[in-house]
Structure 1
Amino acid sequence: MDTAEVILSVLVAVIIIVSLLSNVLVLICFLYNPEIRKQVPGLFTLNLTFCNLLLTVSNMPLTLVGLVNKGQPGGDSFCQIVGFLETFLSTNSMLSMAALSIDRWIAVVFPLRYHSKMRHKDAAFVLGYTWAHSMSFSTVATCLSWVGYHRLYASCTLSNPRASSRTQFVIFTVFFHSFTFLLSFIVLCVTYLKVLKVARFHCKRIDIITMQTLVLLVDIHPSVRQRCLEEQKRRRQRATRKISTFIGTFMLCFAPYVITRIVELFPAVPINPHWGIVSKCLAYSKAACDPFVYSLLRHQYRKTCTDIINRLLKRTRANPSTALLLCRKMLLCFVYRVPTTTHQCSELAVRTMSNPA
């Protein structure tokens, strides 16, 4: 093995470890917190987590073996089963991300009708479509013997060694990536951009209330005013950062691999074998990123992880930040007119600084 192959082998091993630990942690949070289990998005997250876990334990180790041994791991029948799983799980993962984006779009754009538009049976119907979609493409590829060991990616995946069915394989590959990757990408862009538009509108309204509050509180301490302004700035940036993360990680991880599979259909275009492994590693890295992007960085999952750790260490959970709590109390003070005077609001700020609880 040359230096590049050693680095790629280490990279695959790191992806396997991170993906396994992070997805298992999401499952633990899901089982520990009943509130997460009651929520409709939890079904999509659970499906995505299971797909990532199965991909981690079934395909990634065999890719590592194929990269180290420079050959097919196991016999042809075994490789076809693994290739079927790889096609099914990767497709299901992409469609699960699209389903999560649709759920967020309904929750943000139609908040009052969310519980009537997205019920558990509706989520089950969407998951049924993702499974049927994924099963149909992977079954067709397996039945037509278009699944096998591919040296360019050192893994069992879509492959057509026969020249007689090359045209059909090209058509199938284009349709497959169009109705999985491209469809999921379009859904992500449309839904999340609408979510971002609504989020910016609400942030603008909150900013107006915050500025009116700070103007009325003429005797507020400058440090408290500065922290409130910083919280206002972070709130404006939070929505854009989250939307960019959802769409950016999807494109960064899947686009190089899909583009490589399309370019591969043209024999006249040479592809570096190391690049084939790199693109496959990027696609695998999405399984390691998803737990953080969709679950572990959210407040509810962070709180659940903290509760689990505190329960193991027999500690009590820390109180929230004093400055953040003060900003929230002042906003409530002026939005709901309780207390009714500026002097009383100032007294509330003093009491909050002295007693955050």
Structure 2
Amino acid sequence: MDPAEALVFSLVLVIIVVSLLSNALVLICFAYSPEIRKQAPGLFNLNLTLCNLLLTVANMPLTLAALASRAQPSGDVLCQAAGFLETFLSTNSMLSMAALSIDRWVAVVFPLRYHSKMRHRDAALVLGYTWAHSISFSTAATCLSALGYHRLYAACTLAAPRERASGRTQFVVFTVLFHAFSFLLSFIVLCVTYLKVLKVARFHCRRIDVITMQTLVLLVDIHPSVRQRCLEEQRQRRQRATKKISTFIGTFMLCFAPYVITRIVELFPAVPISPHWGTVSKCLAYSKAACDPFVYSLLRYQYRKTCGDIVDRLLKRHRSSNESRPSPEGRGLSLPRAE
């Protein structure tokens, strides 16, 4: 294993550990907090978390084994099953992110009618579509024999069939359609919804700014430091909205775009692709499973509060168990009294 392969191997290992811990923590918060469970976005986060966990447990270890052995890590049947699961989970996770963006667009644009527009039943219908969409493409890939071990990415994923020339043409068409209706569709939904959310948020910020400035003008005796602090809070509020939208769209593009572009470029045999770049682009796609818990869940107030409550409860239980134990002096044998 050369230094580049060792670096990629270490990167995949770190992604597996971080993804397992962070996604498991999101599941614990979901099971612990009734407030998170009763909200419709909690279903989208739950679906995204389960997809990330399954991808981490089922597919990433196979890539790790392939990097270590420089060969297919399992038999053809198991590798095809892993490729089916990887196609399904990657599509489902992308569509779940698109569903979360639609949910936030409805919450911002229609705040008074949000609870009537986005109920658990509506969220379940959206998730049903994501599952049907993902299973259809995974099944189509299986029927086309387009699943197997791909040496360029050291993974069990979409791979061109080698038996016949017509299969190559079908694989090219399927690959373009698959990425158009998974990555490109999700990206368009993310951009349209989040940019509208940003537009509405900036409009509300401008209204708040006008009211604040009018108030500051009326309060002529206000201290300059208070005035400066109010203006600084306005600027930070605008920056927070922009940073959140940039994080949602930026992480999606940074993690998935290199891999998808590489898969499209691969369809042109005249364009050479470095094997190291293939595995790096696959690692970037895997890293989304480790980023999602922080981007969509753990950095939000409800999840941070739930994590704090869980830690407090564990500490209280630990203290109570220590207090209930007998002291070292009380555990000694008592001597019989002399009469």
Decide whether the 8 Å contact of 2:144 with 2:170 is kept in 1. no
Instruction: State the alpha-carbon separation in 2 of the partners of residues 46 and 77 from structure 1.
Output: 29
CA distance in structure 2 between the partners assigned to 1:130 and 1:7 by the alignment: 35
Tell me which residue corresponds to 2:87. Answer: 87
**Structure 1 residue 99 and structure 2 residue 99: aligned?**
yes
Show structure 1 runs of 5+ residues with no match.
316-357
Aligned-pair CA distance for 1:222: 4.4
Instruction: Supply the distance in 2 between the matched residues of 1:257 and 1:152 (Cα, whole angstroms).
Output: 11
Distance in 2 between residues matched to 1:106 and 1:248, nearest whole Å: 21
The answer for the alignment partner of 2:285 in structure 1 is 283
Where does the alignment leave 5 or more consecutive residues of structure 2 unmatched?
318-339
| Paired residue type of 1:87 | T
Structure 1 counterpart of 2:258, which letter?
A: P
Q: Name the counterpart of 1:261.
A: 263
* Higher Cα Rg, which structure: 2
Give the TM-score of the pair, scaled to structure 1: 0.85
Alignment match, 1:108: 108
Counterpart residue number, 2:118: 118
Is the 2:145–2:161 Cα contact (8 Å) retained in structure 1? no
Quote the residue 1:227 is aligned against. Answer: 229
Partner Cα distance (1:302, 1:204) in 2: 29
**Aligned-pair distance for 1:301?**
1.2
TM-score normalised by the chain length of structure 2: 0.90
The reply to whether residue 169 of structure 1 matches residue 207 of structure 2 is no
Deviation digits for residues 265-322 of structure 1 (CA, Å, limit 9, x no counterpart)? 111110000000000000001111111111111111112112222333349xxxxxxx
- TM-align CA RMSD: 1.4
Q: Which residue in 2 is equivalent to 1:330? A: none
Matches within 5 A, 1:268-307: 268-307=270-309
CA distance in 1, matches of 2:168, 2:6: 33
Structure-2 separation of matches of 1:300 and 1:226: 31
1:219 positional shift: 4.3
Q: How far apart are residue 207 of structure 1 and its match?
A: 1.5
| 1:50 maps onto 2:14 in alignment | no
Q: Distance in 1 between matches of 2:124 and 2:34?
A: 19
Counterparts of 1:64 and 1:8, CA distance in 2: 9
- Identity rate of aligned residues, in percent? 83
Which stretch shifts more, 246-255 or 135-144? Answer: 135-144
**Distance (Å, rounded) in 2 between the aligned partners of 1:312 and 1:234:** 36
| Rounded Cα–Cα distance in structure 2 between residues aligned with 1:27 and 1:228 | 39
Q: Could you tell me which amino acid in structure 2 is paired with residue 81 of structure 1?
A: A
1:130 matched to 2:130: yes
2:323 equivalent in structure 1: none
* Corresponding position of 1:342: none
Distance 1:257 1:176 in 2: 13
Residue number among 191, 200, 203 corresponding to 2:202 in the alignment = 200
Q: Deviations over 1:46-75 (max 9, x none)?
A: 000000000011101110110111011111
Structure 1: distance between partners of 2:299 and 2:208: 24
* CA-to-aligned-CA distance 1:67-110 (integer Å, 9 cap, x gap): 11101111100101111100000000000000001111111111
Count the aligned residue pairs: 315
The question of whether the paired residues in 1 share the 8 Å contact of 2:147 and 2:158 is answered with yes
Between 180-189 and 292-301, report the one with greater CA deviation.
292-301
Per mean C-alpha deviation after superposition, the further-off stretch among 161-170 and 80-89 is 161-170
1-side partners of 2:229 and 2:301: how far apart? 21
Aligned mates of 1:217, 1:19 — CA distance in 2: 52
2:132 aligned partner, one-letter code? A
Q: Does 1:39 align with 2:39?
A: yes
2: CA distance, partners of 1:131 / 1:249: 23
Q: Write the deviation string for residues 85-140 of structure 1: whole angstroms up to 9, x where unpaired.
A: 00000000000000001111111111122122211111111100100000011011
- 1-structure distance, mates of 2:305, 2:230: 23
> Per-residue displacement from partner, 1:228-287 (whole Å, max 9, x unpaired)?
332221101111111111111111100000000011111111000000000000000111
Q: Which residue of structure 1 aligns with residue 329 of structure 2?
A: none
1:20 aligns with 20
Partner of 2:181: 179
3-state SS, counterpart of residue 112 of structure 2: helix
1:31 Cα deviation from its structure 2 partner: 1.1
Q: What secondary structure, in the 3-state scheme, does the structure 2 residue paired with 1:149 have?
A: strand
C-alpha separation in 2, matches of 1:228 and 1:307: 32
Q: Indicate the larger mover: 124-133 or 106-115.
A: 106-115
Distance 2:302 2:223 in 1: 32
Q: CA deviation at 1:221?
A: 4.6
Letter in 1 for 2:176: V
In 2, Cα distance between the equivalents of 1:117 and 1:138? 31
Show the counterpart of 1:154.
154
